[in-house]
C-alpha cells in the first residue's frame, strides 16, 4: 500500500500531465464531430462578451467598406423590386406573402479563417430565435451553418471548415454536388461529385442546391476557376472561387426554415414506418 502511495507521490506531475492531456484530447476529438460541440464554444457568456466589446471597438475601422457593401446590396434589391413592379404590377398581391424562409440579420464579432476547422461567432443567440442548423449567408454568398447557440451569441461552422459539407449545384446545368474545403486557401472551395456528363466550363456560377432544409435554392457560392476529373474518372472535382471574401465579413443574415419542423416530422414518420 505504501509502495503504491509513494508511486503516486513520486509521479504526481506525470499523472497530472496525463490526466489533463487526456481531457484536452477528449475536447479535441469532441470538437471534431459536428453535433457534439455544444459546450465550451466561444458562444458562452464570458468569451462572447469579451469578443462583443472588442468588436465594438474594431468595427469602426471597417465602416467604409461595410457601408459600401450594404449600399451595393440595397441597390441590387431595389433593382429587383423595381423590375418586378414594372413587369407585372398586378401579380404582386397574388404572390404568396413570403416563402418558407425567414431572414434575420446579425453581426460577426469574431472570425477565424486561417485554420483547418474555422468558426465564426455572431452577436445573436437563442433569445433572438436562433437555433442549431440554421444557415448563415452574407450579401455575397454562403458563410456557414450555426453549430452552437447560447442565450445571446452563436457560433457558425464556417464554409472554410474541413468538416463542412454544403449541397450545391451548377447554375447553368443544374447538376448537383457537394461543396467541401481542402483546408488551405480561404478564397477557394471544392465542389465534388459533379457527374462527368455535366458540361463544365471555367467561369460557371455555383449556387446552393436547395436539397437541404438549411439553405434555400439559388444562394450564390462562387465561380468555377479550375476543374479536373477525380480518381475513378466518373466525377469532376471543381475548384470554386468564393464570391464572399471570408476574411472580411461583418453583416450576415441567418436563414430560418419555417417548414423545418413539418419536414422533420414527415421524415421521422417515414423512418418509423420502415
Partner 1 sequence: MQNSDIISNIIRFIVVLLLQVLLLNHINFLGYINPYLYLLFILLYPFTGNKSLLIFLSFLLGFCVDVFADSGGVHAAASVFVAWLRPWLLKFSFGVSYEYNAVRVSKGSLSQQLTLITLFVLLHHLVLFSMEVFNVSHILLVLKSTLFNGLFSILVIQCVILIFSRNS
Going 177 to 31 to 261 to 153, the CA torsion angle's sign is: negative
Query: How many angstroms separate the CA atoms of 209 and 166, rounded?
Result: 9
User: Which listed range, 181-189, 204-212, 214-222, 225-233, lies at the site for partner 1 (CB under 8 A)?
Assistant: 181-189
70 in Cβ contact with 249 (< 8 Å): no
Give SS3 for 208: strand
The correct pick among 7, 10, 38, 40 for binding partner 1 (CB under 8 A) is 40
Q: Does 26 bind partner 1 (CB under 8 A)?
A: yes
Query: How many angstroms separate the CA atoms of 198 and 238, rounded?
Result: 12
Cell 484536452 found at: 24
Give SS3 for 109: strand
Interface size with partner 1, residues (CB under 8 A): 42
For partner 1, the closer CB: 50 or 85: 50
Kindly state the smallest distance separating residue 125's Cβ from partner 1, in Å: 15
Q: How many CB atoms neighbour CB 1 within 10 A?
A: 5
Q: Give, as ranges, the residues between 107 and 126 that touch partner 1 (CB under 8 A).
A: 110, 112-117, 119, 121
Kindly state the smallest distance separating residue 28's Cβ from partner 1, in Å: 4
For partner 1, the closer CB: 57 or 201: 57
User: Which listed range, 41-49, 66-74, 76-84, 85-93, lies at the site for partner 1 (CB under 8 A)?
Assistant: 41-49
Tell me whether strands 188-195 and 235-242 are parallel, antiparallel or unpaired.
Answer: antiparallel
Q: Give, as ranges, the residues between 223 and 252 that touch partner 1 (CB under 8 A).
A: 247
Query: How many angstroms separate the CA atoms of 30 and 221, rounded?
Result: 29
Per-residue binder mask for partner 1 (CB under 8 A), 3-22, x = binder: ---------xxx-xx--xx-
Q: Does 76 bind partner 1 (CB under 8 A)?
A: no
Q: Give 247-270 as a DSSP string.
A: TS--EEEEEEETTHHHHHHHHHHH
Kindly state the smallest distance separating residue 160's Cβ from partner 1, in Å: 11
For partner 1, the closer CB: 119 or 124: 119
Give the C-alpha distances (Å, rounded to integers) separating 211 from 43, 66, 178, 179. 29, 31, 11, 13
User: Which listed range, 36-44, 90-98, 136-144, 172-180, lies at the site for partner 1 (CB under 8 A)?
Assistant: 36-44
Interface residue list for partner 1 (CB under 8 A): 12-14, 16-17, 20-21, 23-32, 37, 40-42, 44, 46-47, 50-51, 54, 110, 112-117, 119, 121, 155, 183-186, 247
Amino acid at each position: 500500500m505504501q509502495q503504491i502511495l509513494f508511486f503516486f507521490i513520486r509521479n504526481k506531475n506525470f499523472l497530472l500531465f496525463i490526466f489533463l492531456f487526456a481531457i484536452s484530447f477528449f475536447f479535441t476529438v469532441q470538437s471534431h464531430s459536428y453535433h457534439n460541440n455544444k459546450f465550451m464554444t466561444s458562444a458562452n457568456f464570458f468569451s462572447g462578451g469579451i469578443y462583443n466589446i472588442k468588436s465594438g471597438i474594431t468595427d469602426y475601422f471597417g465602416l467604409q467598406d461595410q457601408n459600401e457593401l450594404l449600399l451595393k446590396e440595397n441597390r441590387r434589391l431595389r433593382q429587383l423590386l423595381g423590375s418586378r413592379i414594372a413587369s407585372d404590377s398586378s401579380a404582386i398581391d397574388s404572390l404568396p406573402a413570403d416563402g418558407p424562409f425567414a431572414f434575420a440579420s446579425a453581426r460577426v464579432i469574431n472570425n477565424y479563417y486561417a485554420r483547418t476547422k474555422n468558426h465564426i461567432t455572431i452577436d445573436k443567440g437563442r433569445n433572438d430565435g436562433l437555433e442549431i442548423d440554421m444557415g448563415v449567408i452574407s450579401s455575397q454568398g454562403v458563410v456557414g451553418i450555426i453549430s452552437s447557440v447560447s442565450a445571446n451569441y452563436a457560433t457558425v461552422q464556417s464554409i472554410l471548415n474541413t468538416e463542412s459539407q454544403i449541397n450545391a449545384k451548377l447554375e447553368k446545368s443544374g447538376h448537383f454536388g457537394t461543396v467541401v474545403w481542402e483546408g488551405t486557401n480561404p478564397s477557394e472551395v471544392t465542389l465534388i461529385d459533379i457527374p462527368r456528363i455535366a458540361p463544365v466550363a471555367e467561369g460557371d456560377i455555383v449556387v446552393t442546391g436547395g436539397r437541404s432544409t438549411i439553405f434555400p435554392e439559388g444562394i450564390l457560392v462562387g465561380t468555377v476557376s479550375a476543374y479536373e476529373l477525380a480518381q475513378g474518372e466518373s466525377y469532376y472535382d471543381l475548384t470554386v472561387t468564393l464570391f464572399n471574401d471570408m476574411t472580411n465579413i461583418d453583416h450576415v443574415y441567418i436563414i430560418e426554415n419555417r417548414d423545418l419542423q413539418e419536414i422533420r416530422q414527415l421524415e421521422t414518420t417515414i423512418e418509423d414506418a420502415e
